Amino acid sequence: MDVDGRYELVVFDMDGVLLDVRSSWVLVHDHFGVNNDVSLQAYLSGDIDDEEFMRRDIALWKERQPSISKRHIREIVKDAPMMKGCKESLRTLKKNGYKTAVVSGGLKPLVEQIGMGYFDVIMVNDLEDDGELTGEGILNVPLNDKGTAFHKVLEMLDIPPESTVAVGNSFIDVPMLKKASLGIAFNPEDQEVCDSADVVIREKDLCRILEYL
């Protein structure tokens, strides 16, 4: 707990917050020279669910490399740039007694890139692999329902919402920011996340969040 006892837990989105990438899924798409515009529109319009959305994304990769595995995905994303101040801010939070978590629709290998040991709870989406990708995703965080995933993290750590901070960068993160006692819009992508936040940070330096804790 911090010195004045306000907060115990900081929950982060990953893409655009902990990592300086727009989307970990798009990072892999770009590697293979594919795009998911058609399935993205189908998802946003409600024609497909999260599982089918992931299935179609993975299919794009397997068209280019049929035997692709999670090992290959890790290799593709291993040089993904971390946000300035990422590890410094995480180390400072740990030093000051905070618990930390990631709630993201992004890919688990990107959390491994940051370092799993920095977090008390990791709730991100993953890829089913039996030696190579099966074509199925592992859904832990629906893009349109991050609030439920956020609540699960709080239950796992037995921490009430009034003792939590949420950090996100887009409208997808709004449910987390609204449920937390302190919502921080970091490097925001849209006005909706700004409108839902208590604090807006437009500088790409994650250490800036420490000023409010």
Q: For domain 9-212, give the CATH superfamily.
A: HAD superfamily/HAD-like (3.40.50.1000)
The pLDDT, as a whole number, for residue 13 is 97
**pLDDT of the chain along its 213 residues, tens only?**
333 568 999 999 999 999 999 999 999 999 999 999 999 999 999 999 999 999 999 999 999 999 999 999 999 999 899 999 999 999 999 999 999 999 999 999 999 888 889 999 999 999 999 999 999 999 999 998 999 999 999 999 999 999 999 999 999 999 999 999 999 999 999 999 999 999 999 999 999 999 999
Residue 108, judged by CB atoms within 10 A of its CB (0-12, 13-18, 19+), counts as: buried
Residue 19: strand pairing partners: 15, 82
- The kind and range of the H/E element at 43 are helix 37-44
The pLDDT, as a whole number, for residue 115 is 87
Residue 121: strand pairing partners: 101
Cα 78 from Cα 67, distance rounded (Å): 19
The pLDDT, as a whole number, for residue 5 is 62
Contact criterion met (CB below 8 Å) for 4 and 94: no
Q: Helix 70-77 crosses helix 24-32 at what angle (to 10 degrees)?
A: 100
The pLDDT, as a whole number, for residue 113 is 83
In the structure encoding, which two tokens stand for residue 194, read together? 């700004």
The pLDDT, as a whole number, for residue 112 is 86
